Amino acid sequence: MDRIMVLRIICIFVLILLAAQGNAQVVPGKVLDASNNQPLVGANLTDSTRSKGTVTDTFGRFNWDLGSNGSTIFVNHLGYQELKVKVENPDGSLRILVPAAAHQLPQIVVTASNTSGQLLEVPASVSLISKNEIERDNGTNIAEPLNRIPGLYMHSGSLNTNRVTIRGIGSRSLFSTSKIRAYLNDIPLTTGDGETTIEDIDLGLVERVEVLKGPASSIYGAGLGGTINMKTLKAPYHSTDLSSELTVGSYGLIRSVNTIEHGTDELNIKVNYNTIHQDSYRENNQYDRKTGSILSQFYLGDNSTLTVWGSWISLLAFIPSSLDSAAFAEDPRQAAFTWVQTRGFEDYNKGLVGANFQHLFSDQWELSASLFGSFRNSYELRPFNILEEDNTALGSRVRFSFRPKVESGKLTWVFGAEYFNEEYQWQTFENNNREQGSILSDNDERRWYYNLFTEVNWALTSGTIFTAGINYNNTRYNYHDLIITDGDQSGNYSFDAQWSPRVAVLHNFSDKFSVYGQLSHGFSPPTLAETLTPDGSINPDIQPETGFNLEFGTRGQLVKSKLSYDLSLYSMYIDNLLVARRTGDDQFVGVNAGKTRHRGIDVSLGYELLPEQSSSNLYGWLTYGYADYFFKEFVEGDNDFSGNELTGTPAHKLNWGTDYIHKSGLYGNINFLYVSSMPMRDDNSIYSDAYALLNLKLGYQKAVSKMVSFKVFAAVNNLWDESYASMISVNAGAFGGNAPRYYYPGLPRNYYGGGSVNIKLK
């Protein structure tokens, strides 16, 4: 063999080796829940033939062999949508974000407790609202999807006047949500004294809502009522999209949602600009809100993620206020006389910003650290005065997770801290024919709190999970009265530090059936207004509400996984019940008046009504909440309300409905809500009327090409044209010889329709 032939053979051999080496290239990656960045354990990754592939580990990690498996990956995980991924950058690391399936399943990963895990493995009462469930409605108010959760009721007087109650907690708040904590991407929406506003978060931003009912998570301060976690949408994986949606409806409704988004293995960014305008059904109830938001995630290597998020909200909303029984029956479209005479309104700008850094040091140690801030500038014209407010808040949260190696199962220890500092300044002025007059009050309030928390979660190989944790909270207020001509009411307030323990146990009888029980403690701090005496000075004797929650539950799937269910039975014992009594147009006094007992049953059912091979999907669902809430001990002055039903909460709340999707693109849903009567006064002398609402929606969606898709829809709400009160004012006062105003009328039959277009640029 001559030399030339030998050289040729050697060259061919080298080229074959190089080609083999290139084909053997292995690409690392992670599979994560698109909503909360949590790893999907046991996700199946297969090639285009569905015959070869791999499975993700405990941290959602995998290695993909391009030479053996090719560049096309199909990603599957129970409870999530199937994704088809094309490996475009073999030199990088893949970061695959997988959206949840249309209907919630026990296998969806949640973060409502300290340790993330599948819903089936969470020993607490957690309810999910998916994007699909949000889109059943017109997107103007979160009350509609929240009211499908058993054990939760959201009063909605108007788009800017709402009150959320969970298992009866917060039902006695006068005009807003209290004693319930809320977060948006881990940024608190709750002020330093416990008041929460979630209604001005545009639902066009939200991908999922996790509702934790009762004091069942130490990481969120062991709130007595529970926690609402809102998670924003992220850009689709390996895609650059433009989209716009427009909705128009009755009473001047115009809503637009406009988005540009871009997702890669190194960056995920989403920019939204959303607007809502509504003339509304009632007098003096026009509403305008504009929201601009940006969410960006930077993937800094295989083990680090930096999330930066910000939102700006501008609101102008007129206020019709509540009606007495005669006005409500005569003409619910009218506003309260004094409010329509002065054309009362609120006008504010709000900003929310936050940054979170997550880093996996090793298979045992993980860090999550957040910084956040917010501001709010408000001007409110009221019949009795003009209110100006300025809020600024800063805070941070740090959480460490440690997973030591143990002989049996998996052990996770979580510990960390949260710090919150808020300055609230407010002034009131005379209302001189809608013009600002002399100053009446000038106040400055500082609010601080910090939480220290730790929790241990031990999952045994037998399927039993033990959880034990404790939260420590320290809260204090510093109040300065800046006008002292009528006496200096300044003072400091802090209550005893609160220790809130929690123990729980869960057993998985199979991968589709679990049972749990828990005993947990929670508390709700008083607002500064509740700490003031009638003369405006600090009352050092006021204490937070505290209570224990005993709960048993089960969740899982039956009938070949077609039926999913969630059932919980609970009993809460509340001490130091906080009672806010109205002593004037803008004056309240708080007292610890007694004890309440909250017993109830929450049920959620979902059923896939058609076989998998059908050309259509028909999903039926039902939720029911039974509430037996009453005053165990409640004596106020000469009045003994012990044994009476708790005000502001219905004893029965039932929802049912169906979601329909056909492969042609036709879709629709039916939603039914029944709310029983509820007492409006502590003496149970007056009850609201029960009501039932039926909503229908029909739409069509279609991909015109690989780049363009659209949808159109039309709907009717309150099909039966029911006359009802969508919010009641508990223990409404009567001033100046006028009748008490209890009722906020709900919308009569109303219509809306619209459409959207999505353009895929990449």
89/237 same-domain check: no
- Segment holding 13, helix H or strand E: helix 3-23
300/441 same-domain check: yes
Give me the pLDDT at residue 7, please.
Answer: 56
The answer as to whether 755 is a domain residue is yes
Give me the pLDDT at residue 273, please.
Answer: 96
137 in Cβ contact with 672 (< 8 Å): no
235/87 same-domain check: no
Show which of 42, 74, 98 is a domain's final residue.
Answer: 98
CATH number, domain of 286, equals: 2.40.170.20
The answer as to whether 470 is a domain residue is yes
616/480 same-domain check: yes
How far does the chain reach from its first CA to its final CA, in angstroms?
Answer: 54
Show which of 77, 98, 119 is a domain's final residue.
Answer: 98
The DSSP code sequence of 233-272 is --PPTTEEEEEEEEEEEGGGEEEEEEEEEEE-SSEEEEEE
Show which of 56, 83, 98 is a domain's final residue.
Answer: 98
For residues 355 and 351, what is the distance between their CA atoms, to the nearest angstrom? 14
The structural domain count of the chain equals: 2
94/232 same-domain check: no
- Segment holding 94, helix H or strand E: strand 94-98
DSSP letter at 532 equals: B
For residues 401 and 408, what is the distance between their CA atoms, to the nearest angstrom? 19
The answer as to whether 698 is a domain residue is yes
Q: In whole angstroms, how far apart are CA 293 and each of 56, 275, 308?
A: 33, 12, 11
Give me the pLDDT at residue 86, please.
Answer: 83
Q: In whole angstroms, how far apart are CA 122 and each of 25, 33, 115, 116, 259?
A: 39, 17, 9, 8, 34
39 in Cβ contact with 31 (< 8 Å): yes
Which runs of E-coded beta strand occur in 559-683? 563-575, 578-584, 587-592, 594-608, 616-636, 639-640, 652-662, 666-675
For residues 502 and 302, what is the distance between their CA atoms, to the nearest angstrom? 34
The answer as to whether 732 is a domain residue is yes
On the CB side of 197, how many CA atoms lie within 13 Å of its CA? 16
Handedness of CA 511, 515, 520, 522 (dihedral sign): positive
For residues 748 and 721, what is the distance between their CA atoms, to the nearest angstrom? 5
For the whole model, what pTM was predicted?
0.90
Return the exposure string of 6-16: e unless at least 16 CB atoms fall within 10 Å of the residue's CB, then b: eeeeeeeeeee
The answer as to whether 744 is a domain residue is yes
The DSSP code sequence of 19-84 is HHHHHT-EEEEEEEETTT--B-TT-EEE-TTSSSEEE--TTSEEEEEHHHH-SEEEEE-TTB--EE
Per DSSP, what are the bridge partners of residue 370? 356, 397
The answer as to whether 664 is a domain residue is yes
Give me the pLDDT at residue 18, please.
Answer: 47
The DSSP code sequence of 461-514 is TTSEEEEEEEEEEEEEEEEEES--TT----EEEE---EEEEEEEEEEEEETTEE
Per DSSP, what are the bridge partners of residue 61? 30
CA angle in degrees (0–180, nearest 5) for 266-413-460: 105
| Residue 280, domain extent | 226-760
As averages over each run of 10 residues, the pLDDT of the chain (762 residues) reads: 58 51 71 82 84 84 84 85 81 82 72 70 88 90 94 92 91 80 83 81 88 77 81 87 96 96 91 94 95 93 90 95 94 94 95 93 92 94 94 93 89 92 93 92 90 91 91 88 79 83 92 92 77 64 85 92 93 81 55 85 94 87 96 84 92 96 94 96 94 97 93 97 94 82 95 96 83
The answer as to whether 560 is a domain residue is yes
The answer as to whether 212 is a domain residue is no
Give me the pLDDT at residue 750, please.
Answer: 96
The DSSP code sequence of 325-341 is HHHHHH-TTSPPHHHHH
Q: Give the list of residues 6+ apart from residue 306 with CB closer than 8 angstroms, or none.
A: 297, 298, 300, 355, 356, 357
CATH number, domain of 77, equals: 2.60.40.1120
CA angle in degrees (0–180, nearest 5) for 741-747-749: 145
